[in-house]
Amino acid sequence: MAVHDAEVIVVGAGPAGSATAHRLAAAGRDVLLLEKARFPRDKVCGDGLTPRAVQSLIGMGVDISPEAGWARNRGLRIIANGRTYELPWPQLERFPDFGLVRSRMELDELLARHAAKAGARLEEGVKVLAPTRDERTGRVTGVLAQPVDERGRASGSRVRYTAPVVVAADGVSSRMSVASGIGRRDDRPMGVAVRAYAPSPRAAEPWMESWLELRSDGALLPGYGWVFGLADGTVNIGLGILNTSDAFQNVDYRDHLRRWMRETPEHWALRQHADTVAIKGMALPMGFNRQPHYARGLLLVGDAGGMVNPFNGEGIDYALEAGALAGARVDAALAEPRAEGREVQLHGYAQDLKAHYGGYYTLGRWFVRAIGHPSVMKLATTYGMPVPVLRELALKLMANLTDVESPDAMDRLVNALSRIAPAA
C-alpha cells in the first residue's frame, strides 16, 4: 500500500478550504491544509455574512459573539429610486435572523486556526505550484509545492506532498483547476467589485446598506454599491458590476467608487476619505462557472468552483457550505474499502452541489441577464420595490433564505422555482 503524506490535501486556507479541512479533521481524518500566504493576510471581499454563513459558523462551533469581534446586523437597507427600504432578515427555522460582518484579514485566519484546532495540519507560506498525477491514469495524487517568504518569493526547495484526495480551494484563478484542464465556462456570469475601508461615525449601524442606483454629478453609474460597518469603527464601502452590463468592459471601477464616495450622504462622513482610501478589486466567479467539481481525485470548492451566488454576489456562504459537503463526501470516500466505492462517493459531491444549488443558480443566471438591461432594473426599482410583499419575496429569493417544507407561501414559491429550474 502506498504511503501518503496525508489522507487529504486542501490547497488554500480561505473559508472554503478551512471549512473543508475542519469537517474532515473533526471526523478524525489526517488533513494537510496548505496556504501560500502567512496569516494575517488580506483578501478583497465585501466582508458581509448573511444568515446562511452565520449558520455554517455556528455548525463549525465558531464563537460569533460581539465580544469575539463580530459586528451583527438586522438585515438590508435598500436605497432605490430615491427611496429607502429596510428589510429585516426573515424569521426562519433553519437560519438565524441576523447577519455578521468580519474583515477577511481576521476571518480567514480565525477559520484556518479553527480548522487547525480541530486537528488539521496548517502549513503557511507554502505555495502550491501544480498537481501531481499518476502517469498511467491521470489521477491527481498530490501537489508540488515550494516554501515562500512574506513577499511570495521562493525560500526553500520544492516539496511533493501526496494524498488519495486533493481539494482545490485556491480561489478564482485556481492554479490547481487550470493545471488539471478544468477551465471557466463562458456561459456563466462574472462580476467585478472594488472595495475600501474608511472610518465612519455610523459604523455601528445595524443594517447593511445597499444602493441599487449610484450617481455622480447626476449621472447614473453602472453597478450597485454597499456600505456597512465593522466592529473596529470602520466601514466597508464598495461597488460591483456584472459582465451582463454593456458597461462592463469600459469601467474605471476605482474612479467610480471615489466619485460615489464624494456624493454619499453626509451622515456617513465618507466624502473626505474619497481621495485617500486604498481601493482593491476582486473578480466574482458566479453560478458554477468552473466544472466539473470533481474529476480524477480533485474536488473544487468555493471560488475555485465558481460558487458565488449570481443574485447578490455572496461567496463566503457557499464556500462554507460547499466545504462541509466536500468534507462529508471525502470522509465517506475514505471509509470505502474499494476504489469503485470511493469514486461513487467523490462523484456524489458534484451531485450534491447540483441538488443544493443547481436550479437556484440557474434562476440567478437568468436574473443577471435580465438586470443587465438598465430598463429592467429601472422597472424593478420603480414599481417592484415600493410593494412590501415583493420586497420580502426579493429578499428571500436573492439571499436564498427559505425554510424547507414551509407553510409560508413565499418560501414554497422560491423553493418550487429552484426545483423546476434546470440544474446545469
| Averaged pLDDT of the chain | 94
> CA-to-CA distance for 321 and 7, rounded, in angstroms?
21
Give the other-Cβ count within 10 Å of 284's Cβ.
Answer: 25
Q: Would you state the pLDDT for residue 342?
A: 98
The per-residue pLDDT for range 230-243, each reduced to its tens digit, is 999 999 999 998 88
Q: Do 163 and 207 fall into the same domain?
A: no
pLDDT band at 100 (very low <50, low <70, confident <90, very high): very high
Of 14, 51, 11, the C-alpha closest to 33 is 11
Mean pLDDT confidence for 22-35: 98
Q: Do 356 and 255 fall into the same domain?
A: no
Q: Would you state the pLDDT for residue 1?
A: 40
What is the DSSP code (8-state) at residue 103? -
- C-alpha grid cell, residue 24: 474532515
Q: Where are the beta strands (DSSP E) in 200-311?
A: 207-211, 214-216, 219-221, 224-229, 234-242, 280-285, 294-295, 298-300
Residue 417 lies in a domain: no
Residue 53 lies in a domain: yes
Q: Do 250 and 299 fall into the same domain?
A: no
Q: Would you state the pLDDT for residue 184?
A: 94
pLDDT band at 2 (very low <50, low <70, confident <90, very high): low
Q: What is the CATH number of the domain that holds 99?
A: 3.50.50.60
Alpha-helical regions (H) of 137-206: 175-179
Q: Would you state the pLDDT for residue 111?
A: 98
Domain edge (last residue) among 363, 397, 417:
363
Q: Do 175 and 27 fall into the same domain?
A: yes
Residue 198 lies in a domain: yes
Of 339, 396, 349, 380, the C-alpha closest to 88 is 396
Q: Do 114 and 125 fall into the same domain?
A: yes
Report pTM.
Answer: 0.96
The per-residue pLDDT for range 162-207, each reduced to its tens digit, is 999 999 999 999 999 999 999 999 999 999 999 999 999 999 999 9
pLDDT band at 3 (very low <50, low <70, confident <90, very high): low
pLDDT band at 251 (very low <50, low <70, confident <90, very high): confident
Spatial CB neighbours of 114, under 8 Å, sequence gap ≥ 6 = 18, 22, 60, 61, 62
Phi/psi for 124 (5° steps) reads -95, 160
What is each CA distance from 85 to 30, 56, 76, 210, 374, in whole angstroms?
49, 28, 8, 10, 21
Residue 259 lies in a domain: yes
Q: Do 20 and 134 fall into the same domain?
A: yes
Range(s) of the domain holding residue 238:
190-285
Q: Do 280 and 296 fall into the same domain?
A: no
- C-alpha grid cell, residue 300: 473544487
Q: Do 220 and 352 fall into the same domain?
A: no
User: Does residue 258 have a pLDDT over 80?
Assistant: yes
Name the residue type at position 255.
D
Give me the number of domains the chain comprises. 2
What is the DSSP code (8-state) at residue 310? T
The per-residue pLDDT for range 108-167, each reduced to its tens digit, is 999 999 999 999 999 999 999 999 999 999 999 999 999 999 988 999 899 999 999 999
Q: Do 275 and 311 fall into the same domain?
A: no
User: Does residue 318 have a pLDDT over 70?
Assistant: yes
> CA-to-CA distance for 295 and 305, rounded, in angstroms?
12
Q: Do 171 and 47 fall into the same domain?
A: yes
| 8 A C-beta contact, residue 75 and residue 87 | yes
User: Does residue 271 have a pLDDT over 50?
Assistant: yes
Q: Do 261 and 359 fall into the same domain?
A: no
